[in-house]
Amino acid sequence: MPAASTPAPVLTGGSVLIGEINAPKTFNPRPTVEALSGELVACYNKARAADPDLRGKVTLQINVNEAGAVLSVDAAPGGHANSPSLVMCIGDVMKASAHFPKPGGMATINTPLVFRP
């Protein structure tokens, strides 16, 4: 009888450093991104359970509508932490929890994140 597969361990620890965010001049998304840092680390730990060597930088391209709601989150090409599962988790968190100030129209926010175990 084959052994039952055990779920991957849930990793803890980890940290995220939020780099210089590139956004329209009259729009400050940093407080919203910083408020989500706990969820960003949770996404990192979840992705790291499947890829223990996952670490480094990923630059997110966050598209926000005129009301401040997140429409989409994608990763810019490159970066050592450009993991599809990490980016998808962060996108889900941002769509559900991020409430950015109104940017004065549609806005794209380029947000560099550096993840460390």
Contact between 75 and 60 (Cβ < 8 Å):
yes
State the Cα–Cα distance between residues 76 and 64, nearest whole angstrom. 16
Query: pTM of whole model > 0.75?
Result: yes
State the Cα–Cα distance between residues 110 and 76, nearest whole angstrom. 9
pLDDT tops 80 at residue 81? yes
State the Cα–Cα distance between residues 36 and 109, nearest whole angstrom. 15
| pLDDT band with cut points at 50, 70 and 90 for residue 12 | confident
State the Cα–Cα distance between residues 39 and 26, nearest whole angstrom. 26
pLDDT tens digit sequence for 14-37: 999 999 999 998 899 999 999 999
DSSP H helical ranges for the chain: 30-35, 37-50, 84-97
In sign, the C-alpha dihedral spanning 23, 73, 44, 77 is: negative
* Every domain of the chain and the residues it spans: 25-116
Average the pLDDT over 65-69 and give the result: 96
pLDDT tens digit sequence for 92-103: 999 999 999 999
Among the CATH numbers 3.30.2420, 3.10.590, 1.10.3470, 2.20.25, which is that of 25-116? Answer: 3.30.2420
